[in-house]
Chain A
Amino acid sequence: MSSPWDAFSEWMKQNVAPALKATLAPLDAWIDSLPLWTGTACAVGLFVLVGLWAFTLKRSYIYLGAPDQKRWRDLRIWTTLVLLPYIIIYLVF
């Protein structure tokens, strides 16, 4: 005898999965048609977007709580420096 969980799984697979699969099929086909560098562009784009967004934040917000206003404490620069090796890695590999 199947458990309620198994019965639920079976029901979902038979009644809901086909409709969802048909809905997602055009999206899957479109993504499949894209060249692989699209993935690299999306990943690198994500890093670059975050890096650029950091520079939209106010200087006063970035330094809040810092004991001084020295340049090395600017977290916008930290964000860029931390992102840079990741961007290089995703471009190379």
Chain B
Amino acid sequence: MMLEGSLLAATAFEGSALAGIDYVIVVTYMLGVLAIGTYFGKYVRSAGDFFLAGKALPFWAIGMSIVVSDIGAIDFVSGAGGAYRYGISQANFDWIGSLPAAAIAALIFIPYYWRAGVYTIPEFLGRRYNSAVQIIEAVLWLGFLISMLGVMLWATAVMMNTVLGWSHLQSIWITVIIVGIYTVSGGLAAVVMTDVMQMVVMFIGAGALLILGFSAAGGWEGVVGKVTSLGAEYADHFTLLLPHSADTPYPWTGIVFGLGIVLSTAYFVGNQAVVQRALGARSEWDAKAGMLFAGFLKLFIPILIMIPGLAALAMYPGLEDADKAVPMLVRDVLPAGLKGLMFAAFFAALMSSVDSYLNSCSTVFMSDVYGKIYHGIHGRALPPRHGLVVGRILTAVLIIWAGWFAPKIERFETIYVGIQTLLSFIQGPTLAILLLGILWRRTTQWGGLAGLVLGVCVTVSLTVMGDEIFPSDNPFLFVSFWSFVFSMIVTVVVSLLTPAEPEAKTRGLVFGQVIHDEAVQEALKDRVNGP
């Protein structure tokens, strides 16, 4: 899917070769990212500096980085394609799919993670429940992140090959070198600060396409008039919430309960790439504010990325493949210079995702695999300097491995699809055990394990039967909601049937205690300030 998206994005530039000014913009952008990224290397002196940016990130950088890491080149194409097909209901994924969740994450979960001083979500689950829960989560996340690295590098290569004429291998290794140098050197700080620059480039490029696209299509009124005159099937194109039984993947019940309550919250509180940025905040206030700022910025994403799909619908109605709408718009309305900027925006979208996944992948491996093994052998935590050296080597190995793996990705497509599907199965159950683990002290390790494992089994079963029992052809929103409800029930029942955890084990890991208990905060201080 991502490979197809990248190829389609690249077709935006086909048949209208980039002008000299476009190449200047693209090369300047690449050098700028490299310069900013490597600059932050001089501040990295320990594992804490490398993986959590020395806990020095301001709220605005956290918010911008969270938003830009979530957007890939695919979103420019398939997001707008979705708006072309289904109208503005596609925007729900960034609107109701981000804000209630970002506020809940900011005001409940993030302060809790931040004070607990953990590096990763699996680490937190391991402390609250047991090693089995930590290992299940860590293995799934590692499999997903590693395979995604290869996929994203290949997607970048496909685009660069089409637009710049570089071979796939050249394109992959140029990306590996640029991203590798600044991520190995500067760690999370470099990733976040380059994300800030990449977001500015993306907003300018996508903003230009929005303004020129709507101008060419006759403005908002013109677009509404042309789209609604296309026929009755386009009558709902300007309606956000569609009927429960509508012939669309997005009925309002799925959007509000499946997306608004479960999937979006699971994303904001359980996605390592998102949470890691907040954990690197310079203060608890910045961690919370960064998350809220991300919720605010998300407001603009559908406007910049999806709404051009409506302008394309007004200009090119009746396309068989809606995902070609925006590439056509780019080709037809952007002049030289802005085309280069738009290509830089596509490239920025891909690079920001590659560096985020790379950094998160090495953090999960260090914290949940290497750190645990080291502790098991030596009986003490990883020394900060040792963690930094191993973290840098690991990051370099991962990006080189991803570069080697990327050209072979199509041969392993089944594995990639399998891992991605498996990860989607754990969203609802993970949210259930995170929520209960934080809000209810009585939740036990066996309740958490049962909730996770049985919840995944129910998600798989519901996915298999989904189109038979739910009123949608693509029932993942309903599946996630019901699997979340089921996991909550199982976790509560099993927790009540098993002995309560000793107070010492949950000390500092339950929200009420973290807020109100000064002694708990003192006990957490060493860990928060440690590696």
Listed in ascending order, the chain A residues whose CB lies under 8 Å from chain B are 8-9, 12-13, 16-17, 20-21, 24, 28, 31-32, 34, 36, 38-40, 42-43, 46-47, 50-51, 54, 57, 61-67, 73, 75, 78-79, 82-83, 85-86, 89-90, 93
Interface flag for B515 (CB, 8 Å): yes
Q: Which of A51, A57, A90 makes the CB contact (< 8 A) with B240?
A: A90
Interface residues of B (CB under 8 A from A): 88, 95-96, 99-100, 102-104, 106-107, 111, 238-241, 243-245, 252-253, 255-256, 260-261, 283-289, 292, 295-296, 299, 461, 464-465, 468-471, 515
B-side interface mostly: helix
B529 to chain A, nearest CB (A): 14
A1 to B295 alpha-carbon distance, docked (Å): 50
Q: What CA separation (Å) do A31 and B481 show in the bound complex?
A: 16
Q: Are B464 and A46 in contact (CB under 8 A)?
A: no
Question: Hey, which chain A residues are within 8 Å of B240, CB to CB?
Answer: 43, 89-90, 93
8 interchain pairs, CB-CB under 8 A: A12-B461, A16-B461, A21-B469, A31-B253, A36-B252, A39-B241, A39-B256, A67-B283
* Contact partners of A31 in chain B: CB under 8 A: 244, 253
Of A12, A34, A43, which one neighbours B256 at CB under 8 angstroms? Answer: A43
Is the pair B99, A47 in contact by a Cβ cutoff of 8 Å? yes
Chain A residues whose CB sits within 8 angstroms of the CB of B244 once the complex forms: 28, 31-32, 34, 39
Number of A-B contacts (CB under 8 A): 117
Whether B285 and A54, one on each chain, are in contact in the complex, defined by CB atoms closer than 8 angstroms, is: no
One of B238, B261, B299 near A93 (C-beta < 8 A): B238
Residues of B within 8 A of A38 (CB): 252
8 Å CB contact of A86 from B95, B261, B468: B95
Chain B residues whose CB sits within 8 angstroms of the CB of A9 once the complex forms: 464
Instruction: For B252, list chain A residues within 8 Å (CB).
Output: 36, 38-39, 42-43
Q: Which of B241, B469, B515 contacts A43 (CB 8 A)?
A: B241
Per a CB cutoff under 8 Å, which of B243, B286, B296, B461 touches A36?
Answer: B243
Given A28-B244, A28-B471, A65-B284, A47 and B100 touching (CB < 8 A)? yes
Distance in angstroms between the alpha carbons of A86 and B239 in the assembled complex:
14
Residue of A nearest to B297 (CB): A82
Task: Please give me the residue from chain B that is nearest to A93 by CB atom.
Answer: B240
**Selected contact of B515 from candidates A12, A61, A90, CB within 8 Å:** A61
A43-B96, A43-B252, A46-B100 are known; give 12 further A-B pairs, CB within 8 A.
A16-B461, A24-B470, A32-B244, A34-B244, A38-B252, A57-B107, A65-B283, A75-B288, A78-B289, A78-B292, A82-B102, A86-B299
- Which of A13, A57, A93 sits near B88, CB closer than 8 Å? A93
